[in-house]
Amino acid sequence: MYLTTFMPISVGKPLDWVFETKRLSAEIIAKVNPIFDLNKDKRLTISEVEKVMLSKIPAQWQTYFKESSKRIKKKIQEPTSIVTVGVIVIAVIGSVWLYKRGKNGQNN
């Protein structure tokens, strides 16, 4: 889910894929996300991000998350899955925005 939000194009890419876009160089992305640049080469790979994210999960749950990640990667490579994940992310963001908007309106 983190990769879907952070950089959706990275979902389903190989572990050595480097985070960069036409507008953002690998170095800029690494500079603003130094926690993930494990080898300090000013480039972030899927592998580095996964290692850091897994290190934050209790050891007894890591196997579960690794296996789940493999299954998700296989399914997410289908175009319809990418669209579905995108729609879910947009729906969640929209729901939070509407909730906050309604809550602020009640205070007036």
Q: What is the pLDDT of residue 11?
A: 79
Taking only Cα atoms into account, the Rg of the chain, rounded to an integer number of angstroms, comes to 17
Q: Where are the domains of the chain?
A: 2-77, 78-108
SS3 label, residue 45: strand
Model pTM above 0.75: no
Q: What is the pLDDT of residue 84?
A: 66
Tens-level pLDDT at each residue, the chain (108 residues): 677 777 788 877 888 999 998 999 999 999 999 999 999 999 999 899 888 887 887 777 777 766 766 666 665 555 555 566 666 767 777 777 787 777 666 554
Question: Among candidates 70, 2, 73, 59, which has minimal Cα distance to 33?
Answer: 2
Long-range contacts of 67-76 (CB under 8 A, 24+ apart): 73/11, 73/12, 76/11, 76/12
CA atoms within a 13 Å half-sphere pointing along the CA-CB vector of 106: 6
First to last CA, the chain: 35
